């Protein structure tokens, strides 16, 4: 585990008994402390223990503060992430669906409080290949945010990013590219050309272009994003590492399998050195890319080793 994660784990683990002593066994502060400890257990890879604690925290919060929808969103979101990591996507979908119905009944269908729930649910639906419903929810979230802050505001970039992800997964690459470029324009206008926060938008646009097989343009954007990440966060930061993995995919699609293997293995080694487990999203991405690489390269045994580490992505 990374040093920062160890410190947070120790801190939150210490907070739970303190919260019990100060507030008693039943209090929203205790529930939140339990949720945070559950989050750290998930980061460590202790998924069963994390799920048990997260379920208990959610149940306590529902008993004590059923009208605190913002708090419920935090608890439900964490439990849904855990279920996703354990491959129980149908259960995660039911959880998100029930939460959305509950919030629509309380707030109405177009309230700004619904935006985060819509985005998370759309992401899950896209993962289980319910692309049309995912798109409807993502477009709802985008429309809600447009009414709330306008289409030039920084906060509008998040639902743009989410809808672009959904459309990219659906194969609607032309509109996905348009949305990525709008998001990038907002980030550049807000932060400037050379800010680290622009790197994520460059990376996202590059991935759409990679899907469109516009390899030269994708490579230029990835190298620009990598340079920004390295200047701001260092060569071995998670953001830089994911760009390295994307460059590995680019090399594989160009059939430079040896270069792809080197880049992806570097990315996997960096994530593991940083304390990432095989169940975490970033590591899953690299394992998936390595499996695809070895299948294309005619190395089925190596491909199987990485396929076995992947969480199922069907409901």
Domain residue spans in the chain? 1-86, 213-315
Q: What is the predicted pLDDT for the residue at 4?
A: 42
Q: Is the CATH number of domain 1-86 1.25.40.10?
A: yes
Do the two domains 1-86 and 213-315 of this chain adopt the same fold? yes
The predicted-structure confidence for 50-98, as pLDDT tens digits, reads as follows: 999 999 999 999 999 988 988 988 999 999 989 988 889 999 999 999 9
Q: What is the predicted pLDDT for the residue at 165?
A: 97
The predicted-structure confidence for 267-295, as pLDDT tens digits, reads as follows: 999 999 988 888 888 999 999 999 999 99
Whole-prediction pTM:
0.86
Percent of the chain with pLDDT over 70: 91
In the predicted model, residues of the chain with pLDDT beneath 70 are: 1-24, 313-315
Q: What is the predicted pLDDT for the residue at 21?
A: 54
DSSP calls for the chain = --HHHHHHHHHHHHHHHHHHHHH-SS-HHHHHHHHHHHHHHHHHT-HHHHHHHHHHHHHHHHHH-TT-HHHHHHHHHHHHHHHHHTT-HHHHHHHHHHHHHHHHHHH-TT-GGGHHHHHHHHHHHHHTT-HHHHHHHHHHHHHHHHHHH-TTSGGGHHHHHHHHHHHHHHT-HHHHHHHHHHHHHHHHHHH-TT-HHHHHHHHHHHHHHHHTT-HHHHHHHHHHHHHHHHHHH-TTSHHHHHHHHHHHHHHHHTT-HHHHHHHHHHHHHHHHHTT--TTSHHHHHHHHHHHHHHHHHT-HHHHHHHHTTSPP---
Q: Is the CATH number of domain 213-315 1.25.40.10?
A: yes
């Amino acid at each position: 585990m990374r040093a920062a994660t160890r410190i947070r784990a120790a801190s939150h683990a210490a907070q739970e008994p303190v919260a019990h002593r100060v507030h008693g066994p039943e209090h929203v502060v205790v529930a939140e402390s339990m949720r945070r400890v559950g989050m750290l257990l998930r980061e460590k890879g202790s998924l069963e223990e994390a799920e048990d604690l997260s379920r208990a925290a959610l149940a306590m919060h529902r008993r004590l503060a059923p009208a605190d929808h913002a708090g419920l969103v935090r608890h439900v979101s964490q439990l849904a992430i855990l279920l996703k990591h354990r491959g129980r996507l149908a259960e995660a979908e039911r959880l998100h669906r029930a939460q959305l119905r509950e919030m629509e009944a309380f707030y109405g269908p177009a309230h700004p409080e619904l935006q985060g729930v819509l985005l998370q649910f759309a992401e899950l639906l896209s993962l289980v290949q319910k692309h049309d419903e995912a798109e409807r929810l993502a477009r709802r979230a985008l429309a809600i945010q447009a009414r709330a802050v306008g289409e030039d505001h920084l906060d509008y970039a998040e639902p743009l990013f989410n809808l672009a992800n959904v459309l990219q997964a659906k194969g609607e690459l032309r509109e996905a590219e348009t949305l990525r470029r709008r998001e990038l324009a907002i980030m550049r206008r807000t932060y400037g050309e050379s800010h680290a926060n622009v790197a994520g938008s460059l990376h996202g646009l590059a991935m759409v272009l990679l899907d469109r097989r516009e390899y030269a343009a994708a490579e230029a954007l990835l190298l620009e994003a990598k340079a920004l990440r390295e200047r701001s966060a260092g060569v071995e930061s998670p953001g830089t590492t994911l760009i390295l993995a994307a460059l590995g995919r680019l090399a594989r699609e160009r059939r430079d399998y040896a270069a792809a293997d080197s880049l992806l293995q570097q990315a996997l080694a960096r994530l593991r050195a940083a304390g990432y487990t095989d169940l975490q999203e970033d590591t899953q991405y690299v394992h998936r890319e390595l499996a695809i690489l070895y299948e294309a390269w005619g190395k089925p045994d190596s491909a199987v080793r990485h396929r076995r580490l992947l969480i199922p992505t069907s409901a």
